[in-house]
A and B are shown apart, each in its own frame.
Chain A
Amino acid sequence: MMQAVIQATMDFLKLYWAPLLCGLVIVAVLPLIVGYIVLVERKLMADMQARLGPMRVGPHGLLQPIADAVKLLIKEDIIPDNADKLVFWLAPVLSVGAALLSIAGLAIGPAFQIAKDINIGILFVVGVSAMGIFGIVLGGWASNSHYSLMGSLRSSAQLVSYETAAGMALVSGLLLTGTLNIKAIVEAQYNEGIWFVMLAPVAFFIYLVASIAETNRAPFDLPEAESELVAGYMTEFSGFRWSLYFLAEYTNMIVVSSVATTLFLGGWLRPFARVHFFNFLDYVPPLLMIGVAGYCLLRTPKQPSRVQQLFMLAVAGLCLALALVLLAPVALPIAKPLYAGIHGGFWFIFKVSAYIYFFMWLRFTIPRYRFDQLMRLGWQFLIPLSIVNVLVVGVALIVGSYFNLHGWSMLLVTTPAAIIALVVALMILAAGQQSSAGKENAPASDFYAG
């Protein structure tokens, strides 16, 4: 019996050592990445708010995430007296587990994918990441606090509603490829020579909005609306458990951005990947890295202390090394086979970063929706629009295949479809405004009336 078990384990390891290793790497590295995403967010926020942001730990606060992590880890672990201990323990783990698991389905470049070639790729990512909602709901319930409970009620309602819209948007995108396999989706965009964001712009927009809502980001961050519900479902969590929730939230951001990138933004493809005229774009990534390194070098003498100067030099060196790695497949014929893996990874991460940057930008700029407004937006605007969009995209594809259109000429049929969807959107908006105007009967504000 014992031997059989060992034999089975060995078989397992022999077969699956590569994905296991990748998984380990992801679990180990992701917290660090998330930490730096948070740092970037704080820096961007500071920039937009006319201040500096973290500056103390390391040059320009570059070591801040590590300091934060240490702080969170050594904090006292508090479980409220009347909390349901088991569920309180389980909830953050569920949240972060679902988020990490869904990364397994993603393809970061053609070379790096843990669950290779699963037939249901994109559904796997979406479905598994949706399980994270249990962490939120159960965490709120287990804390035995009204604020937490309301936070988790809000989030479960919100996630279930926006999942529908996001799913419908994904369907419109998937109609264009006819497959759920992530690699096949990106390859289809390569073969067509056009990203699906051009062919299904409305679906992209719907997915964009719904993905913000699904990750509980502003302006849809109601479950954790700090000004109303303190911290929503996280109110009673502290220290490590809290950081698990945090990790889950940012991982989810990465996941939804990756899904959007894969389906709509051409995945790991360079812009105009099939056009040889644009091959010079291959030099953009190394040049970018060299630029960053140069900036770091430029700033080095201005650093106040020796340690910080050395740190800055180290960052510059890292960037230069990255630049060399990125340059190798383009410049050296020997390294040519590595091109897809290295540059694919770069472009994928670049697009995901751009998507996340948009999330952050929104968060700093606009106020928060109210819960009923959020629900109205979801149910009365996004869901009908997404259904209509599936319909018109489907019709457009049928027409397109009738005329045997491919690539850019597909725009001939999809653009009218998008316009129809937009008109429908405006009609829905107008109808909504009419009904709400009828209800409230609010007179216009006559400002200098007095």
Chain B
Amino acid sequence: MEAERETTLSSEATTENKTLLGADELIINMGPQHPSTHGVLRVKLKLDGERVIGSECIIGYLHRGVEKIGENRTYQQFAPYVDRMDYVAAVSNGLGYCEAIEKLLVVEAPPRARVIRTILTELQRIASHLLWLGTHALDIGALTPLFYCMREREEILKIFEKYCGARLTTHAFRIGGLQYEAYDTLEKDVERFCKDFESRVAEYETLLTQNRIWIGRTKGVGILTAEDAIAFGVTGPVLRASGVKWDLRKAAPYAAYDQYKFEIPVGTTGDTYDRYLVRMEEMRQSRLICLQAIENIPAGPILAKVGKVLKPPPGEVYHAIEAPKGELGYYVVSDGTVQPYRVRIRPPSFINLQAFDRMVRGHLVADVVAIIGTIDIVLGEVDR
């Protein structure tokens, strides 16, 4: 794979794309320390002038061996580790892991737990998208949306903090249900946030959606066709912006998503602008889900009957959820002991990053940052 890419890079370089002066192609190294590679991604860019004729993502600067750690921890002990993969959407990570182990144990979280899980996960989706929007806009040069986004994200983080004491790596759920009972004013807080949030999204849209420069910078940039997206295994908003209506919340409902009505926004061209619109709409839909969910939180226990020591029967399970960035899958193999035999994680950012080279070719350097931003990667998740 690596060698193959090398050859495509070099063959591309010798084509007629020579500059007038015969100057050599420029190879520039973007990252691992660069303001807009969203962490420690390193991109090798082969440039002709400012036009990208080839690229290579070099990852692993944040590799912590999360999967290997999983083999040496008990099932409960490993749960906080997954929060540190996509650290801007820790709640979603935890949800996927807990549900995977529940599937392995053949238990089901009680309805109350599932609804609260849904609320928190959707809030997390909004928070993750807000962070994406702010940084993406910053990459494209709009300074101000970042702070507005952070302002709203702060409200969400406050809700998390009230719920479980942590803001970023929450470890909010537990295998079999919830770690904590919902605090008294959770519904009220969520409702207040949702009420404000509608006008806030409209505010971002006035700053960006119709902005000529924004449209110029994003429309037609980094087009990913539906076929390509499927072939690369891309998921999440990136896939949906290419026109494929695939969302695990609808396709394979988990938590309490089957109870709520929401739309799956889909783009048409699969360019950066479409991905922007899709994510904006997803935030609105998440808000609607939250509003529906807080209307009726069932009473009851928050934890299913699971033992203190988890010993799932031997076997394997794959469980995927729709994380903010795409399909987050956990493939867990149990050998009947207290520790998993293997935990394989399918991180959406890693898979989505595969499409980067396809999206970036033929574009300018300025578009590279727009495309890195629009894939919405988190390096903690790419490198694990």
Chain A interface residues toward B at CB < 8 A: 45, 48-51, 146-147, 150, 154, 218-219, 221-222, 225-230, 363-373, 440, 442-450
> Of A146, A368, A369, which is within 8 A of B26 by CB?
A146
A50, A225, A364: the one within 8 Å of B143 (CB): A364
Partner of B141, one of A49, A227, A443, A444: A227
Indicate the member of B147, B264, B369 with the most A CB atoms within 10 Å.
B147
Do A50 and B148 touch (CB < 8 A)?
Answer: yes
Contact of B265 among A51, A218, A448 (CB under 8 A): A448
* Complex interface: chain B residues within 8 A of A367 (CB): 137, 140-142, 208, 211, 213-214, 217
From residue B238, how far is it (CB to closest CB) to chain A in Å? Answer: 14
Contacting pair B143 A450 (CB below 8 A): no
**Inside 8 A of A226's CB, which chain B residues have their CB?**
35-36
Are B28 and A228 within 8 A (Cβ)? Answer: no
Contact status B148-A227, CB under 8 Å: no
Q: What A residues does B198 contact at CB under 8 A?
A: none
Decide: A219 near B141, CB < 8 A? Known: A50-B151, A367-B214, A370-B367: yes
CA distance A15 to B211 in the complex (A): 56
Please tell me if the beta carbons of A440 and B220 are within 8 angstroms of each other in the complex.
yes
Measured CB to CB, the closest approach of chain A to B282, in angstroms, equals 12
- Residue from A150, A366, A443, A450 in contact with B264 in the complex, judged by beta carbons closer than 8 Å: A450
B36–A227 touching, CB < 8 Å: yes
- Establish whether residues A447 and B265, one from each chain, have CB atoms under 8 Å apart when the complex forms: yes
Note all chain B residues with C-beta closer than 8 A to A219.
141, 213
Give the size of the chain B interface in residues (CB under 8 angstroms): 51
| CB <8 Å contact, A445 and B268 | yes
Which 10 pairs show the lowest CB-CB distances between chains A and B? A368-B141, A450-B266, A450-B245, A49-B147, A227-B36, A367-B142, A367-B141, A227-B139, A146-B28, A370-B366
List 25 contacting pairs A-B, 8 Å CB cutoff, sorted by A: A49-B143, A49-B147, A50-B148, A51-B147, A146-B26, A146-B29, A150-B26, A218-B141, A225-B141, A227-B138, A227-B141, A228-B366, A228-B368, A365-B144, A366-B211, A366-B214, A367-B211, A368-B213, A368-B217, A369-B141, A372-B364, A442-B269, A445-B269, A449-B268, A450-B244
Give the chain B neighbours of A227 by CB distance below 8 A.
Answer: 35-36, 138-141, 369
Q: How far is the CA of A146 from the CA of B25 in the complex (A)?
A: 11
A367 to B370, CA, bound (A): 12
Q: Establish whether residues A369 and B216, one from each chain, have CB atoms under 8 Å apart when the complex forms.
A: yes
| A-B contacts besides A228-B368, A449-B243, 17 pairs, CB < 8 Å | A45-B144, A49-B146, A50-B151, A150-B26, A150-B50, A228-B365, A228-B369, A367-B208, A368-B213, A368-B217, A370-B216, A370-B366, A370-B367, A442-B220, A442-B269, A445-B268, A450-B244
CA distance A230 to B219 in the complex (A): 24
- B366 touching A49 by the CB < 8 A rule? no
Contacting pair B220 A447 (CB below 8 A): no
What is the count of residue pairs linking A and B with beta-carbon distances less than 8 angstroms?
125
Residues from chain A with a CB closer than 8 A to the CB of B240 are 450
Interface segment out of the listed B4-12, B86-94, B273-281, B309-317: B273-281
Query: Which residues on B sit within 8 Å (CB–CB) of A51?
Result: 147
Of B34, B269, B277, B366, which is in contact with the most chain A CB atoms at under 10 Å from its CB? B366
Whether the Cβ atoms of A221 and B141 lie closer than 8 Å is: yes
Residues of B within 8 A of A229 (CB): 365
Query: What residues of chain B lie closer than 8 Å to A371, measured between beta carbons?
Result: 50, 364-366
Cβ-closest chain B residue relative to A441: B220
Given contacts A218-B141, A365-B144, contact A448 B366 (CB under 8 A): no
Please, which residues of chain A bring their CB within 8 A of the CB of B26?
A: 146, 150
Docked pose: A227 CA to B143 CA in angstroms: 11
A445 and B274 contact, CB distance less than 8 A: yes
A218 to B219, CA, bound (A): 20
B142's closest neighbor in chain A, by CB? Answer: A367
CA distance A449 to B278 in the complex (A): 12
Cβ–Cβ contact B243 & A450, under 8 A: yes
CB distance from B268 to the nearest CB of A (A): 5
Question: Which of chain B's residues have a CB closer than 8 A to the CB of A448?
Answer: 263, 265-266
Identity of the chain B residue whose Cβ is nearest the Cβ of A447 in the assembled complex: B277
